[in-house]
Each structure stands twice: as C-alpha cells, then as structure tokens.
A and B are shown apart, each in its own frame.
Chain A
Amino acid sequence: MTTAEVETQPPSDVELARASAAGDTNAFEQLYRRHFRRVYALCFRMLGNPTEAEDLTQDVFTHLFNKIGSFRGESAFTTWLHRLTVNQVLMYFRRRSARPEFTTEEGETPVQIVRGTENPNKMPIIDRIALERAITQLPPGYRTVFVLHDVEGHDHDEIAHILGVSEGTSKSQLHKARLKLRQILRQQTA
C-alpha cells in the first residue's frame, strides 16, 4: 500500500468520536451513518416494534452526542455504543413502565411434550426473516434475554448484571424464549 492510500483511509471511530466531542458535527454525522443500522437493529429486536425502535434510535444518538466526550477509547467504540444502546432501551422500558416482567407471569414452559404427540419432523433451515418476525412476537421479557444472549452474544452473568436479575432467571427466560420461538416458527410453517 502506498502512502497516499494510507492517507485516504477513512477516519477511525475513535478519531470521529474525538472530533465529535470537540464539536465537529460532520464527524458526528459520519459516526451516525456508520452505526445507524446496528443501533436500529438492536433497538428493533429488543422492542419488537418499528415505531418505537425509530424513536429509541433517535434517543440513542441524541444521548451519544451528549456523552461522546466521555468515550475514552478503552473499549472498542462499537462495544461502548452497544452498551449505551442497551441501557437506553432498558431505561425506555422502565419509563413506559413496561419493564420486562421476570416473574411467574410467563413462567410456564410454553411447550408441553407428551411422548408420541410431538411432531417429530425437524424444522428445516430457518429463514432469517422468519426468525426476526418470530422474535417480535415474543413476550418482552423473553425477547430481551433472547436478543442479548443468542443474538448479541452476552453470557448469563452479563445479562443478569444488565437486567438486575439472577443468572438462574436469565437462563430460564432464555430457555422459555427458545421454546416459544420454536412454537411460533412451527405454527408459521404448519
């Protein structure tokens, strides 16, 4: 690679974040365009609703704009923004007092199997769009844990910390979420 090519490389997230903190709105717009989809996707998956996801995405970037000076570059910018987004979604849940309910309300295992009555046909490959749609149909408590664990890759220890629940609760919500998704997906393809 020649020097000229190196020089024309797009600025890194860290560079853009620093410039944004110094008041460079063009830099902030670049960050916005670079991360818009990731932020919206996370909001949409956690909320299950496009209108709310749009509002939340706007909130996240507003918050980001105000907070960007506190980004120290210790973690990757994407990790930092991910945390900020999850926190905004959780704060939103609390504000609209629809915080995911982790008690017994959704506590029953959604699938009862009785030997012989369960359709033994295995699901073929799941269409990604079908899975996205099924996730939106989960109860909020299941959805939050499923998105954080299976989509975003957090472990139960982190999720327990993020949501303020026990690891056992996180585990059991995840299991129920997966079973519920299976039920939804099977109904869709039946």
Chain B
Amino acid sequence: MDCAKYLELLSDYCDGTLDDETRALVQMHLGECLPCDGILHDLDTIVRTAVILRSETNSITYPDEQIIWQRLSLSKQIIH
C-alpha cells in the first residue's frame, strides 16, 4: 500500500475502529513514514481538542442572552 491508502485509514486508526491486522499494518507504516505519522499526530490533536470544546463554552463569543430572551418573549408571548 502507498501513502494515499494509509491516509484513508488514519481517522479509523485515530478512533480505534480498525481490525487488528489493518491496525498493525498502519502502525508499521507510521513507523517508517514521517509525513503520515505527522498527519496522524495532527488529526489526533484536532480530535482531542474537539472533545474539549464539548464542555468548553468559553471559546466562542455569545450574543446577549437578555436580548434573545426579549425577542423570544415578544414573538411568542412567553411572558404574558
């Protein structure tokens, strides 16, 4: 297999969803191919950072909660 084939397997490798044999093949390739190993490292970093985002709500800018609440109340008469 060449790098392109291994590249297709890197997400599954990352997620631990490859069968043992394929996993071993990928592992062997990663040991001898710096570019593929670098990509795996990057994908892994992305995946681990994404998990943090799930509970991290401070990494985005929020609109004013009060303004949306007012719009909500006006449009649907939630406040009677």
Contacts and interface: CB of A to CB of B under 8 A. Distances in A.
Interface of A: 25, 28-29, 32-33, 36-38, 40-41, 44-45, 50, 54, 57-58, 61-62, 65, 109, 111-116, 118-123, 125-126, 128-129, 131-132, 146, 150-153, 171, 174-175, 178-179, 181-182, 185-186
A118 B54 contact: no
B57 A62 contact: no
Binding site of A, secondary structure by majority: helix, strand, loop or mixed?
helix
Interface in B33-80: 33-36, 38-39, 41-43, 45-47, 49-54, 56-57, 59-63, 65, 68-69, 71-72, 75-76, 78-80
Q: Select the residue from A37, A116, A150 with max chain B CB neighbours within 10 A.
A: A150
Contact of A178 (B3, B43, B60): B43
Interface of B: 3-4, 7-8, 10-12, 14, 33-36, 38-39, 41-43, 45-47, 49-54, 56-57, 59-63, 65, 68-69, 71-72, 75-76, 78-80
A127 B54 CA distance: 14
Contacts, number: 129
B35 A115 contact: yes
B39 A113 contact: yes
Contacts of B59: 128-129, 131-132
Nearest to A40: B62
